[in-house]
Amino acid sequence: MTTDHTGGRGGATIGAAPAAGPRASRRAGTRRKLFDAAVTLIAEQGFSATTVDEIADRAGVAKGTVYYNFTSKNDLFEELLRDGIDLLAASLRHAADTTYRRGGTRIDALDAMVRAGLDFIAGSPSLTQLYVAELWRTNRTWRATLKSVRGRALAVVESVLRDGVDTGELSDDIDIPLTASALFGMVLVAALDWQSFQPHRSVDDVHASLSRLLQGRVGGAAAAVPRTAPAATAPPSPAALPLPATAP
């Protein structure tokens, strides 16, 4: 009753046994157990509805231990977030870099990042859920932490978009911050929905759907600019080639 799930991918935790050689003081292990217990409980019930006693129980330690290792419930939560989302950013970065190293385009990199995002979420659904649930809340002390953490993940996506625009692979009229956040959101929600409501689908199914969306195989031509008077019921006009506009 200690090990519990939280999914593969190191389920939102330490990442690397903190430096220390062999006998890495018990603390590290205890903190790990607490993270794992907390992430699932908070994802299920929310921060306020989860009690410190529950977390301690689930982790198999006494309540006092929580307070020996973290200064407060809040602190535990913030460290949890930092720890977890850093892993996501790292995994996105890695996906992009690997793609480049193999000679892929920026667009390949975006696609690889979508996949990495899906894999990550599949591995740590609780963490993701918790992140989404708390990200847009105002009036909460951890707002700053979340914002910075969000920035770190989005920065990776934005940098790939920016490269793509610079090299002419992507049309330069895209709005980088907005596009990055939309992409991020698309993956986030699609993945959560998949896990919650259509768990029988495979990652590949989901990935394929998102790729198609990204490639415009869904919303082909038409409606180039918002509020364009809709063309008559005429079939598809094959216009709207993706690509560069006025790029170098």
Partner DNA sequence: TCCTTTGTTCTGACTGGTCAGTCTAAAAGT
Partner DNA sequence: ACTTTTAGACTGACCAGTCAGAACAAAGGA
Cα gap 31→36, rounded to integer Å: 9
**8-state DSSP, 227:** T
Binding site partner of 67, from a copy of itself, DNA, none, Cβ cut-off 5-8 A by kind: DNA
> Which of 29, 46 has the CB closer to a copy of itself?
46
For position 5 contacting a copy of itself by CB under 8 A, the verdict is: no
- Give which of 171, 245, 176, 185 is closest to 213, Cα–Cα: 185
Count of residues touching DNA (by CB under 7 A):
22
Task: Tell me the per-residue interface mask from 28 to 47 with DNA, x by CB under 7 A, - otherwise.
Answer: -xx-----------------
For the chain, the helix, strand and coil percentages under 3-state DSSP, each to the nearest 5: 60, 0, 40
- Span 120-179, contacts to a copy of itself by CB under 8 A: 129, 132-140, 147, 150, 168-171, 173-175, 177-179
187 binds DNA (CB under 7 A): no
CA angle 42, 118, 109 (to 5 degrees): 135
23 scored as a contact of DNA (CB under 7 A): yes
Distance from C-alpha of 85 to C-alpha of 10, rounded to nearest angstrom: 12
> In this complex, which beta carbon is closest to a copy of itself, that of residue 27 or of residue 147?
147
User: From a copy of itself, DNA, none, which one binds at residue 174 (CB under 5 to 8 Å depending on kind)?
Assistant: a copy of itself
Among 5, 18, 44, 68, binds DNA (CB under 7 A): 68
**Among DNA, a copy of itself, none, partner that 183 touches (CB below 5 to 8 angstroms by kind):** a copy of itself
Instruction: Give CA separation, 140 vs 45, 127, 191, 211, in Å.
Output: 17, 18, 26, 35
The residues in 91-110 that bind a copy of itself, with binding defined as CB under 8 A, are 99, 102-105, 107-108, 110
| Selection from 220, 225, 215, 216 nearest residue 237 by Cα | 220
Burial class of 159 by CB neighbour count within 10 A (0 to 12, 13 to 18, 19+):
middle
* In the complex, minimum distance from the CB of residue 92 to DNA, in angstroms, rounded to a whole number: 32
Q: Which does 240 bind (CB under 5 to 8 A by kind): DNA, a copy of itself, none?
A: a copy of itself
Q: How far apart are CA 35 and CA 143, in angstroms?
A: 19
Fill in the DSSP letter of residue 216.
T
Q: Site residues (CB under 7 A) for DNA? A: 23, 25-27, 29-30, 50-53, 60-65, 67-69, 72-74
